[in-house]
Amino acid sequence: MGILQDKFDYVLRDQLSKLNLIKGVLQRALVRRGVQFTEEQLAAVATKVAEASDEAENASVSFDFGPTDEHVQLADDDLRTALTELESDIASGIEKAIPKAIEEFWPGVLSSLYADLPKALGHRRRQQRRFEKRLYARWKEGIDRLEMMLMIAQEAGDLFLADVRKAHKEGDEAESTEDLFLHDALIRIHVRSCRIASEVLHLLKGGFSDGANARWRSLHENAVIAMFIAQHGGDTAKRYLRHAVVECFKASHSYQEHCDALGQSPLSVTEVDALRVQYEGALLDFGNDFRHGYGWAARVMGKSSPTFADIESSLDMSRWRPYFKMACHSVHAGPRGLYFSLANVSRAHPALIAGSSDAGLCDPGHCCAISLMMVSAATFTTKSNIDGLVILKVMLQLCDDIGDALIKAHDLLRA
């Protein structure tokens, strides 16, 4: 903002300088007297007037011009009338002048910003690094434990995937086709969940608690879907994976409608027909209810068009609704999000926070740990062994330890 303000001040000083104002008044006074001056003559007279103005005893102006040294005298009334005209011209012409000034002004502002960019960004980044160092010192124990839990989940996921691939390669007779669908769906959800948890962790370290909470919302959705699929088995997993063609088909309609406005090329007739064939094939296999948003869950839910809330409720996880709705404030553009932020230390006197804050890390951090635990449990228990069960017990205790550490830092901050 300092860079912009310096540039604005420079232009204002140039356009509204004493010399320019004197030239404007003189020009209008001379026009009323029927005298025409060139720009050079006007500038020379204005300079003399400016130099003599501090010593002048009255407002009249006199000077000689032209080859015959014709004498011109502008009285006080002439100058006052001219000044009034100048003010009127500025007021009446400002609507036309502003767009023109903007067009002349913005390239210089952008050039100044580019010139000062390394220095300005260097200062900003040093400030952010110092802030993040202070934040980490405050929340260190909880952040470290959450990162440790994420590492465990990722490594355990690698081991689980290796076991599944080995069993499939060796033709394990215990592995049915439905088991393959089940493992495929849950492994993919687990991979995505680890990635989301990494995003949450990164946002927490940067001091963006509302952003972290918004990403936890996605992680919670993955946890619910993973637990639902694990509970209902391979056929539900197959429907879930196949439902991607429904989403692609619907997305293609939206894309075709708006691609021209986006400056993109439309899908070819061949591509659209291929998507339609896949979509219609899925409806033939799974019924007309499959076309709905959560149509893949319609059979086991016994509802034509189930919702995410229905799935959540079927797992006795409706208690997460308040936290889920709270996270929605940071996702959607509703007015509640304008007044609520986890980043505010004081609820009574909330601040308008446009950047990072060292407050509010407790809820998204602990919720992230819990949801990652849920996804891991849903995934690893479908092909359980001693190692996997031990890992889950470790992660379960870590959830509690992470919550304790985060709430301790939260209470100290509020105190």
pLDDT digits (tens, 9 = 90+) for 53-66: 555 555 566 666 55
Nearest alpha carbon to residue 128 among 402, 357, 337, 368: 357
Q: Please give the model's pTM, rounded to 2 decimal places.
A: 0.79
Cα–Cα distances in angstroms (integers) from residue 281 to residues 124, 229, 247, 262, in the given order: 55, 22, 14, 30
First to last CA, the chain: 34
Instruction: Tokens for 36, please give them.
Output: 């025409």
- pLDDT for position 116: 85
| Residue in this structure with the two tokens 């400056």, named with its chain if needed | 263
% of the chain surpassing 90 pLDDT: 58
Instruction: Write the pLDDT tens digit of every residue in 244-275.
Output: 999 999 999 999 999 999 999 999 999 999 99
**20 or 266: which carries more pLDDT confidence?**
266
Instruction: Write the pLDDT tens digit of every residue in 182-225.
Output: 999 999 999 999 999 999 999 999 999 999 999 999 999 999 99
CA distance 14 to 8: 10
Whether the Cβ atoms of residue 330 and residue 211 lie closer than 8 Å to each other: yes
Cα–Cα distances in angstroms (integers) from residue 323 to residues 301, 308, 319, 329, 367, in the given order: 24, 15, 8, 10, 9
- pLDDT for position 1: 47
